[in-house]
Amino acid sequence: MSDDGHVHNGQGNGSVPSRQRRRFPGISSRAYEHPADRSALVALRKLSGFDTVFKALSGLLPERSLRLLFLSDSVRVSDQQFAHLNDMLRDACYILDLEKVPPMYVTQDPQPNAMCIGLDEPIIVVSTGLVELLDEEEMRAVVGHEVGHALSGHAVYRTILLFLTNLALKVAWIPLGNLAVLAIVTALREWFRKSELSADRAGLLVGQDLRASMRGLMKIAGGNHLHEMNVDAFLQQAEEYEAGGDLRDSVLKILNVLPRSHPFTTVRAAELKKWAESRDHQRIMDGHYPRRDEDKDTSVSDSFRESATHYADHVKSSKDPLMKLVTDLAGGAGGLGGRVRRGFDGFTSPPPPKDQSPTDQPPTDQPPTDAPPRDEE
């Protein structure tokens, strides 16, 4: 590494690129965390005894069972097994200055997937489907993504989410108990979706190749058919998803995303490209970023204020019909009642009879005199 913080890898090792990349000594995860993710983590880290409480939960959580399961039925990455992944893992930890390299396993699963879990120590798991799908630089971004989870401390909360999701299934027969657990799971999923955006940024800091990150996300969405896909068209899908439809589609988007732990792939790609072009990313690449030794002095109120500002800006700039409606409500725009009715007409209004055009229908504020009485529901 040179004095300017750049890493020079010229040995031609197949798992460490020969191109020049920057290393980030002492970098805090706050540097790349999504504002909503960061505010939640800062608040949790400030809670007195928080770590102790979660350690106490370790007796209830299946963490030891998971570790034994991966040890017994997966392949542990090392110099002797999946050596190229082991080189990537150590390289990612070096770039992000993570002192202790977490253990990593490859598990047999055709679905492309990766995760970072654990209470005492994070462990990284990648599926064979993912290893076979991605090329070297795309995989480097994924490994950096998981190391970013480890650096941020996401593994603890991911493990809690897995436990509570399983618990929700077991207590589904308890009327109120299930609702309480589902409420917590829903909140954790919303946080975790934002944490995925944070980890995508960490993956970009490790690989420092936006095209590889984009390719990896496209492959996760559409398989190993890069010759049939185009980054610009893929990002156009995200824009169409954000702006298209009416209020009905906005509601359906919310319902679609609620059960997911990850944001939709096109949305992740668009968010990562936006961040890669931002001043925040450029400042990190220039060596100006928050350090880990400053984390204890971080203000919870400042973090929440930044998160609130981010959401306010997102609502204002969003092209989503529901977000536009919220903006108009805040600005006191007129004619909103008609817009809301029109937006939800597809949910409430039955189609006109085939032998009757819409203009032949009676006025909605006064039923026809020969109409039969309506049953009360």
User: Model confidence over 94-140: pLDDT tens digits?
Assistant: 999 999 999 999 999 999 999 998 877 899 999 999 999 999 999 99
Read off the pLDDT of residues 201-224 as tens digits, 9 standing for 90 and up. 999 999 999 999 999 999 999 999
Mean pLDDT calculated for residue range 224-248: 85
* Nearest of 298, 341, 321, 178 to residue 243 by alpha carbon: 321
Please tell me the predicted confidence (pLDDT) of residue 328. 52
Read off the pLDDT of residues 71-99 as tens digits, 9 standing for 90 and up. 999 999 999 999 999 999 999 999 999 99
Q: Check pLDDT > 80 for residue 49.
A: no
Q: Max Cα separation, the chain? A: 89
User: Which of 47-61, 177-191, 357-371 is the most confident on average?
Assistant: 177-191
The CB density around residue 52, as the number of other CB atoms within 10 Å, is 9
**Which range among 7-11, 240-244, 252-256, 269-273 shows the weakest confidence by mean pLDDT?**
7-11
Please tell me the predicted confidence (pLDDT) of residue 153. 84
Please tell me the predicted confidence (pLDDT) of residue 363. 46
Confirm whether pTM is higher than 0.75.
no
Radius of gyration of the chain (CA): 25
270 — pLDDT class (breaks 50, 70, 90): very high
| Helical packing angle, 247-257 and 321-331, nearest 10° | 110
**Which range among 15-29, 192-206, 256-270 shows the weakest confidence by mean pLDDT?**
256-270
